[in-house]
Structure 1
């Protein structure tokens, strides 16, 4: 029996939950604007933490943030904010919670003006995932010039917790860039999923 070759993320191999995320979700091109916004919010909550921490709390985040329905989150008021700060199932950070709520308002405003978040993001990568050719973790950068540009675009629209390092992690997770190692079984699978 051949052993599955995966990316060599610290702490992933041998963790069935983390492996399942890698094997089924990370790097899959995401085109749905609402799903992209959800992931951007979650990556913002990751700032200063490990992704596995957020991943393990993702369902609690979905429950706390109305399943990331931007219209509902945009209407969150002080009672909702207090509820979120008391919710031990999520990351309780005033700044990150405020960024999620304001991000929902920005998302809705963009949509109402005919500006689609998904279209903006995919246009920045030329409409198709960037296909990296990494063979080891030592070559993968924490950010790229394109991530810097994407972060500037998002910040110009008012989004917060979206610096270039967070944005590059977001790009990897949502398949805007295919950063599975070429030795990983998912590299070719994700490449084939591109539109």
Structure 2
């Protein structure tokens, strides 16, 4: 059975190592050092990781992450490469694959596409299918709640899904699963996607979710 999360963990670690600690990322305000600290805190400090999603706890998370960011960069990469410790929720059977395949894919692209010159890279077919299977839930949570228009997210092979307010104008976004995942996570400006819909609807969408 493929372990897409492990493959993406290795890819992300290699990209972080090659970029060095002070390179930009697509995570607003974060350098590669900040991103590496985030990754380590997320799976090694569950007391602080909650603040990633819960605003009331964000201050604690920021303090813990800032402390980790002061550590040597090589140590952060070593901790990340080694995977979750035994007592981490991500060490439970299947948890790493379920929770981190998309997380690490997106953050790997946050590093890889942060420079001015980048090109999409092919995603292995099995991993592309894994990203597509996770896309419906992610699209509803990340894009559907924010979008002022109905979104049809389509693969070149004809598979599609729709999210967003019923009865609103429709905008079709077409691309490979990895590109669609990046779009719903707000990285659409650095993707290769085709956008089709009424001009007013596309403009309204662009105000809340970046487009190519």
TM-score exceeds 0.5: no
The TM-score with structure 1 as length reference comes to: 0.29
The TM-score with structure 2 as length reference comes to: 0.27
Structure (1/2) with the larger strand percentage: 2
